[in-house]
């Protein structure tokens, strides 16, 4: 299977209104999978939380426009994790991008 076919299979098998943790290796096409999932669910308001201002201001809007179109850019609010404490709002979908978990020995 090609990378696109694998991505399409993941998108197809995700339920409507998915919830939970999706764990992908780098360079798998996570942005396309997320964007296509947004398109599939048609939420009115999406919050996409990320780790850097460059991702927030440049990369994520560019990926949204590339994969699902300019009209979806306005539906997605991107914010950095550091700013979450200042945020209020109701969202139909929340994406927590690049979550890193550190396991400590017990």
- pTM equals 0.86
User: Which two tokens mark 78?
Assistant: 């991107």
Q: What pLDDT sits at residue 24? A: 84
Measured CA to CA, the distance from residue 80 to residue 57 in angstroms comes to 10
pLDDT in tens, 17-56: 988 888 888 888 999 999 999 999 999 999 999 999 999 9
Pairwise pLDDT comparison (3 vs 103), residue with the higher score:
3
DSSP string, 50-98: ES-HHIIIIIHHHHHHHHH-HHHHTTEEEEEGGGGGG-----SEEEE-S
pLDDT in tens, 72-99: 999 999 999 999 999 999 999 999 988 7
3-state secondary structure of 105: coil
């Amino acid at each position: 299977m090609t990378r696109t076919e694998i991505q399409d299979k993941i998108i197809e098998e995700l339920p409507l209104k998915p919830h939970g943790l999706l764990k992908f290796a780098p360079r798998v096409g996570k942005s396309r999978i997320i964007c296509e999932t947004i398109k599939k669910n048609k939420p009115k308001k999406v919050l996409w939380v990320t780790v850097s201002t460059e991702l927030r201001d440049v990369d994520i809007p560019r990926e949204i426009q590339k994969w699902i179109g300019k009209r979806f850019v306005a539906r997605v609010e991107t914010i950095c994790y550091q700013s979450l404490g200042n945020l209020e709002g109701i969202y139909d979908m929340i994406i927590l991008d690049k979550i890193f978990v550190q396991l400590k020995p017990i």
